[in-house]
């Protein structure tokens, strides 16, 4: 399999997953801050 | 389980399955293209990714109009969230297009009309996303971003028509004479586009939820500051 094809499909698979994890991580951080403020 | 969470899980599941089906079709269903060989298979997800990027920017355009018409934060959140997801997809389109171009054109990049417009479009939306973290007041920022998002959308039809209006080396897949593809290639492309659209919807929903959470946090901080003073 050509290396260009392999690299392209790694990018296609990893990038949306990366964005999903990034959004989830940012949301978790915000939710933690909300929880801390609510407790206060 | 709440209805929202159920919808989220269903969307994640559906988009994951659709993505795997599309991936399987790209490698095991679509035929090997005679001229370009295996590297042509980049085309299926490359086009699907470009479609999602363009659609994401269209949603930003609609969100901008909605915000200017109603002044409602909901539209601003939609526009901003969609621009971020769309930008990631357009970035992916650019990089994978370069990976296809190297073995086919002999170069990663050339300043022909379609590629030049794509580069300008990418820079415009990078600036849009950066603008959202600016020091302007939230209302001014949202209003400015709405106008910017509407104006930047001009790059989408320009990019679409660039390969039809001007002399360019970028392939034209959909023309007035139909698609220059075999039926199996068309099936694979359509499934890829559907899968990417589902993934976009999932990511957009999550991104919107993040923005709502940020709004809740900002409101709580204001309450906290008011209580402290």
Residue A1's domain spans which residues? 1-40
**How many angstroms separate the CA atoms of B16 and B39, rounded?**
24
User: Do B41 and A5 count as a contact with CB atoms less than 8 A apart?
Assistant: yes
What is the number of domains present in chain A?
1
Contact yes or no for B50/B90 (Cβ under 8 A): yes
* Alpha-helical segments (H) within B29-72: 42-70
What is the per-residue pLDDT for B1? 58
User: How wide is the angle at C-alpha B201 spanned by C-alphas B197 and B207, nearest 5°?
Assistant: 140
Locate A30 and state its tokens: 């915000």
Locate B196 and state its tokens: 């990417």
User: Do B210 and A26 count as a contact with CB atoms less than 8 A apart?
Assistant: yes
- What pLDDT tens digit does each residue of chain B (229 aa) get? 588 889 989 999 999 999 999 999 999 999 998 888 899 999 999 999 999 999 999 999 999 999 999 999 999 999 999 999 999 999 999 999 999 999 988 999 999 889 999 999 999 999 999 988 776 688 889 999 999 999 999 999 998 888 777 777 777 776 656 567 889 999 999 999 999 999 999 999 999 999 999 999 999 999 888 888 7
Instruction: From residue B7, give the alpha-carbon distance in Å to each of B4, B11, B206.
Output: 5, 6, 11
In this complex, the residue of A11, A16, A34 whose CB is nearest that of residue B217 is A34
Locate B90 and state its tokens: 């357009």
Locate B44 and state its tokens: 């299926």
**How many angstroms separate the CA atoms of A7 and A2, rounded?**
9
Contact yes or no for B201/B18 (Cβ under 8 A): no
A36 at interface of B, judged by CB pairs closer than 8 A: no
User: Do B49 and A12 count as a contact with CB atoms less than 8 A apart?
Assistant: yes
Residue in chain A closest to B19 (alpha carbons) equals A13
CA of B24 to nearest chain A CA: how many angstroms apart?
12
DSSP 8-state code for residue B107? S
pTM: 0.91
Global ipTM: 0.93
């Amino acid at each position: 399999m050509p290396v260009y094809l392999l690299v392209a499909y790694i990018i296609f698979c990893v990038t949306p997953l990366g964005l999903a994890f990034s959004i989830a991580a940012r949301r978790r951080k915000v939710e933690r801050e909300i929880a801390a403020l609510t407790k206060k | 389980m709440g209805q929202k969470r159920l919808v989220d899980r269903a969307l994640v599941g559906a988009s994951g399955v659709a993505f795997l089906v599309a991936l399987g079709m790209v490698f095991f269903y679509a035929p090997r293209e005679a001229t370009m060989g295996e590297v042509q298979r980049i085309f299926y997800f490359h086009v699907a990714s470009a479609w999602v990027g363009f659609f994401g920017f269209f949603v930003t355009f609609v969100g901008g109009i909605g915000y200017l018409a109603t002044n409602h934060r909901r539209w601003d959140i939609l526009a901003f969230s969609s621009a971020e997801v769309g930008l990631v997809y357009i970035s992916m389109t650019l990089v994978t297009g370069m990976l296809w171009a190297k073995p086919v054109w002999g170069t990663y990049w050339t300043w022909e009309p379609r590629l030049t417009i794509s580069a300008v479009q990418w820079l415009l939306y990078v600036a849009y996303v950066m603008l959202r973290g600016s020091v302007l007041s939230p209302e001014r920022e949202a209003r400015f971003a709405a106008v910017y998002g509407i104006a930047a959308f001009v790059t989408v039809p320009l990019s679409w028509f660039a390969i039809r209006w001007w002399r360019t080396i970028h392939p034209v897949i959909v023309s007035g004479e139909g698609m220059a593809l075999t039926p199996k290639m068309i099936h694979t492309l359509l499934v890829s586009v559907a899968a990417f659209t589902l993934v976009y919807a999932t990511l957009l929903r999550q991104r919107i939820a993040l923005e709502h959470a940020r709004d809740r946090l900002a409101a709580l901080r204001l309450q906290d500051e008011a209580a402290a003073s």
